[in-house]
Amino acid sequence: MKTTISEVDRALSGPWSAEADKVSARELLVDRYCEIQPQLQRRFSALLHGELREELHAVTDHQLSVLTYLRHHTLTMRELAKQLGVGESAATAVVDRLVRQGLVVRCDDPSDRRVVRLTLSTSGESVVAEMHASICRKTASLLDVLSDEQLTQLVAIIETLAAATSIEPRVGAKTPRRDATAQEQA
């Protein structure tokens, strides 16, 4: 079922009670978001993937993920596997290929000689910098349809969602919802 903004508007002006309207309109908006977000993500990924694939033909998607995680961090194999959501053996296989390509290096941890940390090599840093610049260029062209005000709002919304998803919810705790009526009543 495809939800449209006009359906949300109709739900807001329907014959139900004010509370039912809010829930119904919110459910319709969430439904619409769930329809649009994956499509948008696929389109962005397809456009970016094509450009990156030309520039980084020897680097796989998994390897790009590893390089991205290592951009600002040094990680142990266990930490990297956790970030990627894979087992340590799978992470090791990807890292081994990156080490052979000269993009990642293994280093001793100065505080614990038993620990081996992964970091980008100079070549790896260069590849990641090129990749990031390419992604930013392509994304900027895709976002040209938004005004500066719309882009500001979009970034603020995404930052809010990112902050909300980084917090571990307490068992049984309700997640507060911020909406216009709650703010008006405050």
What's the pLDDT tens digit per position in 123-163?
Answer: 999 988 988 888 888 888 888 999 999 999 999 999 998 88
Q: Where are the domains of the chain?
A: 1-55, 61-126
pLDDT-derived band at 183, boundaries 50, 70, 90: very low
pLDDT-derived band at 185, boundaries 50, 70, 90: very low
pLDDT-derived band at 7, boundaries 50, 70, 90: low
One-letter amino acid identity for 117? R
pTM: 0.61
Which of these CATH numbers, 2.40.110.20, 3.20.20.30, 1.10.3720.10, 1.10.10.10, describes 61-126? 1.10.10.10
